[in-house]
Amino acid sequence: MRSTATLAALMISATPAAAEPTVVELFTSQSCYSCPPAEAYLGELAERADVVALEWHVDYWDDLIYGFAGRWQDVFSDPAHTERQRVYNLQIRGVPNVYTPQMVIDGRLEAVGSRVAQVDAAITEAGRAADEASLSVARTANASIAITVDGQTDAPASVWMVHLLDHRVTEVEGGENNGRTLTNHNVVVGAERLGAWSGGTAEFTAARPSGTADRCAILVQADDQGPILAAAYCPG
């Protein structure tokens, strides 16, 4: 960790701490016939300044056979994404049952991802909650990511970097969406815990995502996958 003065001197591009955005997480699958409208809506949310939009592809559709079209293994699916969704449903709905498309808002609320009015209402409700934390994310002179978290929290939390694919188009050749061309936005391909935060001011420095990821987002989330306290996209 570096001092605040040193970090300030290095920062050349920053996401300001004001107006913390709401995090909308879509749990979806390329094998789910009812999911493309929710994926398109997430693409619209990804353009909003007041939203951090994340798309997690689950794996429980991968082995389902749909008549002569057979099955389709989602190219972005990951069992860790399914587990994240199950934990959310236990926390929010009190049941382990999962479904697609589902949107989780700030780790507190959930709605069917294709029901735009429901999701919009949840985003508005989440936005009314008092901000527990403020978050500043900046690109430094050596192209790493500098993160400052400030505020108070009633429970221990962690700072996470989520690795994203910005925009991907897939020709589906099996399953319920056989023959369709699907467009996905802000697809999650990895997540790493950068450290703990329990209130006050804390600073972190992380390398930008490497490999296939196009961009990243930073989440401050209560431990045991509780509410999301602050979030921001990494600057370009």
Per-residue model confidence as pLDDT tens digits over 104-134: 999 999 999 999 999 999 999 987 665 678 9
What's the predicted TM-score (pTM) here?
Answer: 0.90
What residues contact residue 6 under an 8 Å CB cut-off, 6+ apart? none
Residue 129: what pLDDT? 65
Residue 210: what pLDDT? 78
Q: Are residues 47 and 41 in contact, defined by beta-carbon separation less than 8 angstroms?
A: no
Q: Give 19's pLDDT tier (boundaries 50, 70, 90).
A: low
Helix or strand run (H / E) with residue 7: helix 4-10
Residue 31 has pLDDT above 60, yes or no: yes
In a 13 Å sphere around the CA of 209, the CA atoms on its Cβ side amount to 25
How far is residue 217's CA from residue 137's CA, in Å, rounded to a whole number? Answer: 9
Residue 208: what pLDDT? 86
Q: From residue 216, how far is each of 91, 102, 187 by CA, in Å?
A: 26, 22, 10
How far is residue 89's CA from residue 128's CA, in Å, rounded to a whole number? Answer: 22
Residue 141 has pLDDT above 90, yes or no: no
Q: Please give the average per-residue pLDDT across 183-199, as a whole number.
A: 96
CA angle 83, 144, 189 (to 5 degrees): 25
Residue 1 has pLDDT above 60, yes or no: no
Helix or strand run (H / E) with residue 39: helix 36-45
